[in-house]
Amino acid sequence: MVVLSVSSTLLVLAVGWIHQSFRLATVMRNHERNHQSLLRLSRQFRDDAHLATSVSPNDAGVDFLFDDLTIRYRVDGNAVIRSLRKTTAEDVVGRESYQLATNSRLRFDVDSTAGWATLAVRRAAPTTERNADESNAPSANAPNINSQNIEGFDEQSATPTDLTVRAAVGRWRNEQTQGPESATEEAQP
């Protein structure tokens, strides 16, 4: 009788551990997907900023302007949509989506005087009655005039920051226009 009760207890514990390991594997897969999406987004956002001639804020994100192209970053639910358009027409030439975690909050900042574009992604705390009213209140000390607060991004929040990308607009374009001869002259002692 004792052997039967001990073996049934061990069986229940083993099934519980197996169930927990499946749940943990699912959580880890979701974290990995979110991490990969954040890496792709950061790389593309930085490259677009470095190659752009100028940047301007829009309703839900930013527009990077090139010679004959406009690249728009905007938030659509839990995803950041990057769309490529010809400047002469409003037809979308290309589109890419970066799926983020369900509790992600985004913020785009554009400092056009200094030539910087910033993307910040934070994890939001679970909504409770206590913080529901606080998260909808506007921040009193916004750091940039052209910041785009999207989906409850709270600058004063203690939630972890998943990603911050601050890129100089036109950085690579300025280096390309100097020409190779000026770069070699600077390299010589």
How is the chain split into domains, by residue range? 2-179
26 has pLDDT over 90: yes
Residue length, the chain? 189
What's residue 22's pLDDT? 95
What's the pLDDT band for 186 if we cut at 50, 70, 90?
Answer: very low
User: CA 189 → CA 104, 126, 185, distances in Å?
Assistant: 49, 58, 8
- DSSP, collapsed to helix, strand or coil, labels residue 59 as coil
Instruction: Provide the token pair at 181.
Output: 């001869």
Name residues whose C-beta falls within 8 Å of residue 148's C-beta, 6 or more positions apart in sequence. Answer: 57, 58, 59, 60, 61, 62, 107, 108, 109, 110
The dihedral through the CA atoms of 142, 145, 147, 152 has a sign that is positive
What's residue 130's pLDDT? 54
- DSSP, collapsed to helix, strand or coil, labels residue 64 as strand
What's residue 187's pLDDT? 38
- DSSP, collapsed to helix, strand or coil, labels residue 140 as coil
Query: Which of these, 66, 92, 71, 67, lies nearest to 82 by C-alpha position?
Result: 71
117 has pLDDT over 70: yes
Q: Tell me the pLDDT tens digit for each residue of 148-178.
A: 444 445 555 567 888 899 998 888 775 555 5
b/e for 130-158, b at 16 or more Cβ within 10 A?
eeeeebeeeeeeeebebbbbbeebbeebe
Place of tokens 């390299």: 187
Question: What does R_g of the chain's alpha carbons equal in angstroms?
Answer: 23
- In degrees and rounded to multiples of 5, residue 124 shows phi and psi of -90, 145
Q: Tell me the pLDDT tens digit for each residue of 58-107.
A: 888 899 998 888 999 999 888 999 999 887 777 788 999 999 988 888 88
Mean pLDDT of the chain: 78
- DSSP β-bridge partners for residue 15: none
- Least confident stretch, 21-25, 112-116, 175-179: 175-179
Other residues' Cβ atoms within 10 Å of the Cβ of residue 171: 15
